[in-house]
Structure 1
């Protein structure tokens, strides 16, 4: 298939009334999905299955992301919140089950094995990060790196299949785009004190802040006014904009080195929203 229509196909699994009425879902992994589809279509051996592989992988990712939204505590008394939590668990399980069903129907047993191994690796990485977070041993740099690895892992499972055509281009491009995606999301998190805990800014201040500031961050209910003061003091938004600008320039240079003009054009088109956002950075930085 030449036309990318994965989100439309996925709607038959995601747009159930029960889910839409009683809970919310994470964003569809649009950027990574489009990247995978573009690379698969450029491989003559894999292109006939590009739509199937991309759909299955995106549904697994959506299932994992949905489970990540489930609150840690099961002691929810309010009926609406409890139902939302239960539906997130069920929806995540359902999306993951669709991956098995789609690939098994197509006789793609080897691909089921590849993605299943990738799911195990995602969970291993998450547990390592969770342990470091609980011990407050995570640096801001490590937070970005680990988040990129977790978000990339399912899609990286295709690296072996693409090596004969793209060599090491697929893992490099995937990780680079995913890093842009992560920094992009962190910029918006930095604009809200309510979403600050566990963000890049949180780990940066925990790493570089004073003893009193670190103590303030470790409180169960951090004072949002003080959080905003810390965000401003440490120029969190400004640093993130600079990181995005630097990485976008590196990504653009890497893409231009690819052999396929068609793929280069498609990759720039896929990353256009982030690239367009990065272009506006100088104006934003002046306002910070």
Structure 2
């Protein structure tokens, strides 16, 4: 049984002075990675590769998430902002490429093809979503479902390596777990105008708000006080919190349907820890600003 230590191992591939000086890397997806490691580690056919497969998945995910930090706005920037932008490009490419090296060294050529295919699919989903957003042809519901698909996309292909009830339940489990993470991410995005733009709350207000509110949302900037007024008026936090709680409960229900008691216990602990951790953020996010 391999102890989960992906953050410690991944750190040596991610901790570089140049990157830390000019930009901030996105965090690892602990819930998805822990669930993946537990599933792979719980069966004889994949246990010996559970750490390697989870590690390379974490690096590819960080690479994709780092590329998402790149601001495509064409306005003039300071030298430091330009350096940060360049490092986001290079760091994302670097993290994405390390999985090739690690898997090739281990002779896992088939896994390279699997992950490469998953990356292509995630990028296709992103392009489709961004195209709809640019033309203002996306609803809040469309945005949320696509965000869940994008967040879970890198992990779906592991279903073919799993067995029994874990394999059958994997897509559903992964989608509901990703929904929890999307809900929390979207709650955090209400904290500033820069992050709120093109978020779930943004598209929800575009959909149901007044003409004046829609006009202000599509402008170049917005005062944080006005933004927080909109967030409170349309109950953005409470709606996302409800989605979080509902998805969390569905995750626990799915886990309890698995055949292995040991795996049920382990995954239940992971889910409980995730929900407790997420809950710690909710009061702060609901404060009136």
Interval containing the TM-score (normalised by the shorter chain): over 0.9
Give yes or no for contact 2:176–2:251 (8 Å, CA) kept in 1.
yes
**C-alpha distance after superposition, 1:66-117 (max 9, x if no partner):** 1111121466542211111111111111111110000111111111111111
Q: d(CA) in 2 for partners of 1:286 and 1:155?
A: 31
Pairwise CA distance, 1:277: 5.5
- Residue 92 of structure 1 aligns to a residue in which SS? helix
- Residue 149 of structure 2 aligns to a residue in which SS? helix
Tell me the residue number matched to 1:13.
Answer: 13
- Residue 39 of structure 1 pairs with residue 39 of structure 2: yes
Q: d(CA) in 2 for partners of 1:169 and 1:239?
A: 27
Closer, same or farther in 2 for the Cα pair 1:276/1:46, shift >3 Å? same
- Residue 151 of structure 2 aligns to a residue in which SS? helix
Pairwise CA distance, 1:242: 1.7
Tell me the residue number matched to 1:228.
Answer: 228
Closer, same or farther in 2 for the Cα pair 1:281/1:104, shift >3 Å? closer
Q: d(CA) in 2 for partners of 1:281 and 1:254?
A: 25
- Residue 106 of structure 1 pairs with residue 128 of structure 2: no
Give yes or no for contact 2:7–2:28 (8 Å, CA) kept in 1.
yes
Closer, same or farther in 2 for the Cα pair 1:281/1:87, shift >3 Å? closer
- Structure 1: segments with no counterpart, 5+ residues: none
Closer, same or farther in 2 for the Cα pair 1:84/1:5, shift >3 Å? same
Tell me the residue number matched to 1:202.
Answer: 202
Give yes or no for contact 1:63–1:94 (8 Å, CA) kept in 2.
yes
Closer, same or farther in 2 for the Cα pair 1:76/1:25, shift >3 Å? farther
**C-alpha distance after superposition, 1:194-218 (max 9, x if no partner):** 5321111111111111222211111
Count of matched residue positions in the alignment of Structure 1 and Structure 2? 288
Tell me the residue number matched to 1:271.
Answer: 271
Give yes or no for contact 2:165–2:259 (8 Å, CA) kept in 1.
no
- What CA RMSD, in Å, does the superposition of the two structures yield over aligned residues? 2.3
Q: d(CA) in 2 for partners of 1:108 and 1:132?
A: 37
Q: d(CA) in 1 for partners of 2:185 and 2:279?
A: 16
- Stretch moving more, 165-174 or 97-106: 165-174
Give yes or no for contact 1:184–1:274 (8 Å, CA) kept in 2.
no
Tell me the residue number matched to 1:122.
Answer: 122
Q: d(CA) in 1 for partners of 2:285 and 2:220?
A: 32
Pairwise CA distance, 1:38: 0.6
Task: Give the TM-score taking structure 2 as reference length.
Answer: 0.92
- Residue 120 of structure 2 aligns to a residue in which SS? helix
Tell me the residue number matched to 1:168.
Answer: 168
- Residue 168 of structure 1 aligns to a residue in which SS? helix
Closer, same or farther in 2 for the Cα pair 1:207/1:40, shift >3 Å? same
